[in-house]
Amino acid sequence: MDPRTASLLALFTEGRTRFINLLDKLTGADLPKKLAPSPNSIGFLVRHIGDVELLFAKNVFGLEGVHVRASTVATGHDTGEWTDLAALKAYVLESSDTLRRAIVATPDAGWDKVIETKEFGRKTKAEALGRIVTHTAYHAGQIGIVVKYGTG
């Protein structure tokens, strides 16, 4: 693996550790919890992280063969359907593995390629990686707060 790609893969892996540590401690009873007045439950946030990671692997990094039904992005709000902890854990493991494959498939020179999306405009692939890492960390922080203070 190219050195820059290896470094960015390490960044992705480390950037996801807080989320993984939270995920390991979640119970099924935590999934419907919300922090008023927020409409989004922990289950929604976990699913959303997986949806966006898969979208990045497919649309930003161009990994072929990725099939994603980004239900949290499509609906834009919590429908209350994300209550199966085992399924959610499997989904975010799949999304992580898929995005990891996309990162590994990117050669060093590919990190400077500019991509454009309607969600965040023009970014290099390296900048886009920063965006997905901080997206996951942002929602992991929300999950941590909702676990501690939320009800549901």
Q: Residue-wise over 78-99: b if at least 16 C-beta within 10 A, else e?
A: beeebeebeebbebbeebbebb
pLDDT by residue (tens digit) across 88-144?
Answer: 999 999 999 999 999 999 999 999 999 998 888 999 999 999 999 999 999 999 999
Cβ atoms within 10 Å of 60's Cβ, excluding its own = 21
Q: What is the pLDDT of residue 129?
A: 97
- Does the pLDDT of residue 1 top 90, yes or no? no
Q: What is the pLDDT of residue 120?
A: 85
Q: What is the pLDDT of residue 89?
A: 98
Model pTM score: 0.95
Q: How far apart are CA 56 and CA 36, in angstroms?
A: 30
Confidence tier at 84 by pLDDT (50, 70, 90):
very high
Q: Where are the alpha helices (DSSP H) in 30-124?
A: 42-55, 71-75, 85-104
Q: What is the pLDDT of residue 90?
A: 98
Which domains are seen in the chain, by residue range? 3-27+42-65+75-149 (1.20.120.450)
pLDDT by residue (tens digit) across 28-82?
Answer: 999 999 998 889 999 999 999 999 999 999 999 999 999 999 999 999 999 999 9
